[in-house]
Amino acid sequence: MSSKNSRIRIALLAAVIAVTGLATAGPALAATPAVAPAVTVTSSQAQDPAIPTDFVDLPTGPLRADAPQEFTVTYRNTTPAPTTVAPQLLVTSPDTGPFLAPSDIKVERRTGHGCWVAVRLGSQTGTLFTDLVGAERVLGAGETLEERYRVTVLNPEAGGTVEPRVALYG
């Protein structure tokens, strides 16, 4: 018998066994209730960041090069339900330019222990901003957010406005 004929016979035998197995399992499978596939979420899967639904603008101040400036972002949750918020500083360039770059200023946030830690800045069309992702926190009814920032001008030619605000979610 040639190896070609042998391969054909093995393939035919495998097909017959498969069809016989399906025919036997058919009634059993038909009697089994349908089950939705399980979905597994692992910590390595990234979640989409939440999108703010509103912003509360706080009093602004000029960006001064003569000394470090401190700004406090304060917001009180006056709703009866918990609210997710995030403090943010915007530093806008003058309308006539030049546009600010992240290297023009240093922004720090005061920790609960009284230490100042550097805050990374994003930049878009001349506006520098602190990132909302990671700054989010839930305020219970009647609770107050108070976040302290220090802005130091590194480029004496830099000018602009510091605009504290609070992002509201949901």
Domain ranges of the chain: 54-169
How far is C-alpha 159 from the geometric centre of its chain's CA atoms? 29
CB 109 within 8 A of CB 119: yes
In CATH, what number does 54-169 get? 2.60.120
Amino acid, single-letter form, for residue 39: V
Rounded mean pLDDT, 116-121 = 95
Does residue 32 have a pLDDT over 90?
no
Does residue 60 have a pLDDT over 80?
yes
Does residue 33 have a pLDDT over 60?
no
Q: What is the DSSP letter of 68?
A: -
Query: How confident is residue 8, by pLDDT bands cut at 50, 70 and 90?
Result: low
Alpha-carbon separation of residue 149 from 35, 41, 107 (angstroms): 53, 36, 7
Alpha-carbon gap, residue 33 to 29, rounded angstroms: 8
Q: Which residues pair with 108 in a beta bridge?
A: 118, 150
Supply 17's token pair: 């066994």
Alpha-carbon separation of residue 69 from 4, 64, 83 (angstroms): 86, 8, 29
Neighbours of 20 (CB within 10 A): 10
| pLDDT at site 134 | 87
